[in-house]
Amino acid sequence: MGIVTILGSGGSGGVPLIGNNWGACDPREIKNKRTRSSIHLNVNDVSIAIDTGPDFYHQINRENISHVDCVLYTHAHGDHVNGMDDLRVMSLMMRDIIPVYGKKDTIDEIKSRFDYLFEMKNPLYQPRLTSNIYDKTEIGTPVQHVFEKAEGQGVCEFEAIPFIQQHGEIQSLGYRFGDFAYSTDVSDFDESVLHSLKGIKTWVLDCGQYGQEFILVHPNFERVSKWNEIVQAERVILTHLNLKADYQTLVDALPRGYEPAYDGMKFEIAA
């Protein structure tokens, strides 16, 4: 079994937007306060973060998470990586190096922007992260993530399936753990990917353009529901929600099997 925590359920600007703009969201509803999209999983006693956006520091402290054994990245957009420097402090507190994983273009980009975390730039700032690139043969297949912890603390091991998602003009990664999948920042899937996701029970899924007809880099609910006609997840939790998606309005409007995510939401998975 594993535990998933929604660290952040908001879009790239969060809710409220800068300027205290709540849009259609009721500011009295605490579940409308959304930080940038990210999740945390505890699987086989391994602490895993997916993405480290600009709110990562606050998310980790809010959930009282004392350590992260590794980070899986979906892509290199700022709202998913700009909290990466906080891994430096966490690594120092853990007295351990933290491995990060992603596609080659993602890893290349974050290493160019946060090079000091990966290589010696100054004797006062030792490297705190190691990079791991999924090769093409690993995408869409079960990957055994195995790495040693420092100071004789044992070995971390878990299985996950990284899979390709179209995100506008770029590609992001989704991740499957047993009967659970996480898909943020996706505008389309190859149909073969959707068929490969059959069997999941819970799907945390981007719905960043809920209530809108057009689709650019995020889906609306109509597209989400068509995807799930193929996947047939029992529970679809909508994330990457913006200020047009009021929490209680979604609860009242969504059909059975669909619900909005909120920051701090927790649930169990079989992984």
pTM to 2 decimals?
A: 0.96
pLDDT grade for 271, boundaries at 50, 70 and 90: confident
* Over residues 123-140, mean pLDDT: 93
Average of per-residue pLDDT values in the chain: 95
How confident is the model over 39-47, as a mean pLDDT? Answer: 95
* CATH classification of the domain holding 141: 3.60.15.10
Looking only at Cα atoms, what is the longest distance across the chain? 56
Residue 259 belongs to domain spanning: 2-269
Write a three-state SS string for 78-99: HHHHCCCCHHHHHHHHHCCCEE
Residues 6+ apart with CB under 8 A from 251: 259, 260
**pLDDT number for residue 153:** 74
The reply to whether omega before 16 is within 30° of 0 (cis) is yes
Residue among 33, 34, 128 at smallest CA distance from 85: 128
pLDDT at 215 (0 to 100): 87
Distance between CA atoms of residues 231 and 163, nearest Å: 14
Q: Is the dihedral of CA 257, 260, 266, 269 positive or negative?
A: positive
147: pLDDT confidence band, cut at 50, 70 and 90? confident
Distance CA 21, CA 9 (A): 17
Q: Across residues 67-91, what is the average pLDDT?
A: 97
pLDDT (tens digit per residue) in 98-108: 999 999 999 99
Over range 69-84, report the average pLDDT: 98
- C-beta of residue 161 within 8 angstroms of C-beta of residue 141: yes
Q: Confidence band (pLDDT; 50, 70, 90) for 31?
A: very high
**Residues 21-30: tens digit of each pLDDT:** 999 999 999 9
Place of tokens 């602490």: 47
pLDDT at 216: 87
Distance of CA 163 to the CA centre of its chain: 13
Region 67-86: what's the mean pLDDT?
97
Task: Read off the pLDDT band of 207 (50, 70, 90).
Answer: very high
Find residue 119's DSSP bridge partners. none
Token pair 């995020």: residue: 218
**Residue 152, pLDDT score:** 66
Quick check: 149 pLDDT over 80? no
Task: Give the chain's domain count.
Answer: 1
d(CA 253, CA 120): 53
Task: For the chain, give the percent of residues with pLDDT over 90.
Answer: 89
Predicted confidence at residue 123, as pLDDT, reads 80
> What's residue 151's pLDDT?
65
Question: Element (H or E) spanning 226, and its range?
Answer: helix 221-231
User: How many angstroms separate the CA atoms of 108 and 21, rounded?
Assistant: 35
